[in-house]
Structure formats: C-alpha cells, structure tokens
C-alpha cells in the first residue's frame, strides 16, 4: 500500500512538472510568435512592400465600408432625419430672403468656432508633439482684446469674427468702467472652443488603446508599450515619473468620471496616459470624452489656458488679461514702488 501511494505521488509530481514545462513552453512559443508577427507588421510599409501594403489597405477599406453600411442601416431613422435636416439647411442657405442676414451671421460664427477648435486639436494631438497654438494664436488674441478694451474704455466693439483692426464704439464711456470679468466674457467663446479642440485631440490615444484591447493584438505604439510595462512593474516602481504615471492610472481607473475630470482640469503633461488608460480598461466613450470636454473647455480654460507640449508651460488666461490690464499693472507698480 505504501509503495503504491509513493508511486502515485511520484506520478502526480511528474505530471505537474510536465504540465508546468508545457505551460512554460506554450508561453515561450506564444511570445515568439507575437514577436515574429510584430516584425512582419513593421515590414509591411509602402516603400518595402508596396503591393502587399496596398492589398491590405484595400481589404481594410472594404471591411470598414461594410461595417459602416451595416451600422447606418441599423440607424436608418437617424440617418433619414439627418439628411432631411441637411436638405432644409441647404435650402435656407441658398434661397434669398430676409433670413439671409441670420444665415450669414451663423456662417461667420460657425467658421470662427471651427478655426479655434482646429487650433486646439493641433495643440494636443500627437501624444505631446502638438503645435504651440496658445502661444501663437490664442494668447495674442486675448492680449489684443484686453488692450483694445482699455483703449476704448468698452468691450462693445464688433463681435467675432473680428475685422483686421478692432474698431472702438462711438458712444462715450466713463473712465475705468472696464472690469476683469467683462474682458473674460469677451474672449470666453474663443477660449472654450480652443479647449474643446484640445479635448478632441486627446481621442486618438483612447481609440488606439481601446482597439488594441478589444482585438487582443499588441499595438506598435511606444506609448502603449510603455503603459503595458508600467502595469507590469507598477508595485516595484520607485522613480518619480513612474509613480506619477501610476497615480494617474489609479485615479482614472478607480474614480472614473471625476478622476478623468480632475486630470483634465489641471496642468497635466501625463493626460495622454489617462486617455490610454481609459481605452485599455474600456471606459465608455462618453464618460471619457464628456469629462475631458468639461475639464478642458470649461474648468481649465477659466483657470489656465494651455498645457503647451512638450514643455508643459501653463499660461493662464487670467494671467494674460492681468498682464495687459492698464490699471492692474499700475496698481502692481505702485505696490512695488
């Protein structure tokens, strides 16, 4: 009996070792296969394999068109309503009448908003490699409006889109009647549209990580690979950068909407990581985009106006207005004197 029990234990130990070795071998083969597949994907580029690249491009385009057609067919009611609304707007745009003045006004307003939204997208898109559109466009615009307000003693000059030169109104106003809040209200539309553009520019990392998680494939993006490595070494991270990234990831993952809102509302050079985190953990789109839009276009634009990559030099909208405010600068100089 004892010998039979000993034999059974030895066979059990042998089987567990073989199973362990088999799992180890399977994982090694799987990682090796993933490595080869990744190398093959990297070699599929237009200048190395033009025919294969074009073939995959055409196949992917056909697949996407098929999926979009199916989705549109399932939402055909919404599609019909959108087409009818577009037809009505087109008719109103081209038919002459007294309504044309309102049409022209809305057209100018739409292109003005689209201009600032586009500049905001250019500022935040590209995982930290965006254009300094606040320093180049929004900051000088806020400064020019502030200077014009104190020069004219009024903010009643033409509404945007402004002409080449801001023309002062004819009515007389009392000296010192310009308030800081009046200037903030004058540039609020441009600042909020620019902030909304920065929120839209944060979507590519989210969609990239979400698609990679749903497909189960390893993306070739370096930011995503860094994020995967950070998740693997989260508990042993000691340096400040790794701990900061881990803190952002934990805040977004555990707090949800309000965590994303907090990360989007403060100067945060690691917000691209928040987008990747939300995509990786399959956070709903409207939860991520809604919190990002509120944080960047509403809260952040009234506190500070830019997180300009790659230096993350935050320039407050209030700071720009105060810097170019005549009586506030005079008071500061008097206090210093």
Domain limits, the chain: 39-95, 102-336
pLDDT tens per residue, range 21-79: 555 567 777 777 877 877 777 777 778 888 888 888 899 899 989 999 999 999 999 99
Q: How far is CA 331 from CA 235, 317, 323, in A?
A: 52, 20, 12
The overall pTM is greater than 0.85: no
b/e map of 144-156 (b: 16 or more CB within 10 Å)?
Answer: ebbebbbebbbbe
Q: Tokens 């409006």 correspond to what residue?
A: 145
Residues 6+ apart with CB under 8 A from 133: 119, 120, 122, 123, 194
pLDDT given at position 309? 38
Phi-psi region of 270 (alpha: psi -120 to 50; beta: other; left: phi over 0): alpha
What is the band of 80 on the pLDDT scale with cuts at 50, 70, 90? Answer: very high
User: 285, 289, 301, 237: which is closest to 261 by C-alpha?
Assistant: 289
Closest CA to 225 of 285, 282, 270, 280: 280
CA distances from 256 to 65, 191, 210, 261 (A): 33, 26, 16, 9
Q: Please check whether residue 58 is in contact with residue 50, taking contact to mean a CB–CB distance below 8 angstroms.
A: no
> H/E element holding 307?
strand 307-308
Q: What percent of the chain has pLDDT over 70?
A: 66
- Token pair 């995982």 is found at 127
Q: What is the pLDDT of residues 156-204, one digit of tens each?
A: 877 776 766 777 777 666 665 677 788 888 888 888 899 899 889 888 8
User: Which residues sit opposite 307 in a β-bridge?
Assistant: 314
- H/E/C letters for each residue in 188-211? HHHHHHHHHHHHHHCHHHHHHHHH
Nearest to 206 by CA among 287, 280, 290, 292: 280
């Amino acid at each position: 009996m004892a010998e039979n029990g000993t034999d059974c234990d030895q066979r059990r130990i042998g089987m567990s070792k073989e199973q362990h070795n088999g799992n180890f071998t399977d994982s090694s083969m799987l990682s090796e296969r993933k490595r080869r597949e990744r190398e093959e994907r990297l070699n599929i580029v237009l200048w190395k394999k033009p025919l294969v690249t074009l073939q995959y491009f055409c196949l992917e385009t056909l697949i996407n068109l098929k999926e979009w057609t199916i989705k549109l067919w399932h939402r055909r009611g919404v599609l019909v309503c959108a087409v009818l609304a577009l037809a009505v707007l087109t008719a109103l745009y081209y038919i002459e009448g007294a309504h044309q003045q309102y049409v022209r006004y809305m057209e100018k307003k739409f292109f003005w908003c689209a201009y600032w939204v586009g500049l905001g997208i250019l500022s935040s898109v590209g995982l930290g490699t965006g254009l300094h559109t606040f320093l180049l466009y929004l900051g000088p615009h806020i400064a020019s409006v502030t200077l014009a307000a104190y020069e004219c003693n009024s903010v009643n000059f033409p509404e945007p889109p402004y002409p080449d030169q801001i023309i002062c109104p004819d009515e007389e106003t009392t000296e010192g009647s310009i308030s800081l809040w009046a200037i903030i209200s004058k540039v609020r539309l441009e600042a909020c549209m620019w902030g909304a553009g920065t929120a839209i520019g944060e979507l590519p990392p989210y969609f990239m990580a979400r698609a990679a998680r749903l497909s189960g494939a390893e993306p070739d993006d370096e930011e995503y690979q860094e994020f995967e490595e950070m998740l693997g070494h989260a508990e042993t991270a000691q340096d400040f950068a790794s701990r900061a990234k881990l803190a952002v990831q934990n805040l977004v993952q555990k707090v949800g909407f309000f965590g994303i809102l907090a990360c989007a509302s403060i100067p945060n050079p690691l917000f691209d990581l928040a987008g990747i985190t939300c995509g990786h953990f399959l956070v709903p789109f409207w939860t991520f985009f809604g919190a990002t839009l509120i944080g960047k276009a509403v809260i952040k634009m009234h506190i500070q106006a830019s997180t300009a990559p790659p230096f993350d030099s935050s320039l407050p909208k209030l700071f720009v207005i105060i810097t170019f405010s005549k009586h506030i600068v005079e008071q500061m100089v008097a206090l210093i004197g």
